[in-house]
Amino acid sequence: MPEVSTKPYLIRAIHAWCTDQGLTPHIAAVVDENVRIPPGTAQDGQIVLDVSTDATHQLDMGNDIIQFQARFGGVAQWVRIPVSNVVAVYAQENGHGMGFEAEVYAGVSDAGVEDAADEPEPPSGGDKPSAGRSHLKVIK
């Protein structure tokens, strides 16, 4: 039996801790061809997103994919990020959380991802990382 990664469990735990403490959970992720975000939202091959219950709709933090609907410029858009691309989960207010090494995406078939029948498919476009290796910038 293959070993299951602790990463998705730790992401969900930090998210729950932030929510319980009244803090705003954020995730930082490396953007590549497997990440689905609105065009123009990535910077230097990375994206930081507010994943609080107030900022997301239909948040699904699975073992392989984190997906939800959020508003960008007032327009609801689907976001889909492989857990392997997540490099940090933390509270916006104090920076407490956890960082991770970026991993190579193993891939999950779309059959493993449930879509609501009355909701549109997440967009297939998205930002691509800039050339070279990206680095997480810490902003305080």
pLDDT value at position 129?
Answer: 40
Looking at the chain, the whole-number percentage of residues with pLDDT higher than 90 is 68
Q: Quick one: average pLDDT of 93-118?
A: 64
Residues 6 or more apart in contact with residue 12 via CB below 8 angstroms: 61
Q: Pick 13 or 117 by higher pLDDT.
A: 13
* Summary mean pLDDT of the chain: 81
pLDDT of residue 97: 97
Name all domains of the chain by residue range, CATH numbers in brackets.
7-104 (2.30.30.220)
| Pairing mode of beta strands 57-61, 65-72 | antiparallel
Q: Which of 64, 68, 78 is nearest to 107 (CA)?
A: 64
Helix, strand and coil content of the chain, in percent to the nearest 5, comes to: 15, 30, 55
- Please check the confidence at residue 114 and state whether its pLDDT lies above 60: no
Give the gyration radius of the chain's Cα atoms. 14
Q: CA end-to-end span of the chain, whole Å? A: 42
Each residue of 25-72: pLDDT tens digit? 999 999 999 999 999 999 999 999 999 999 999 999 999 999 999 999
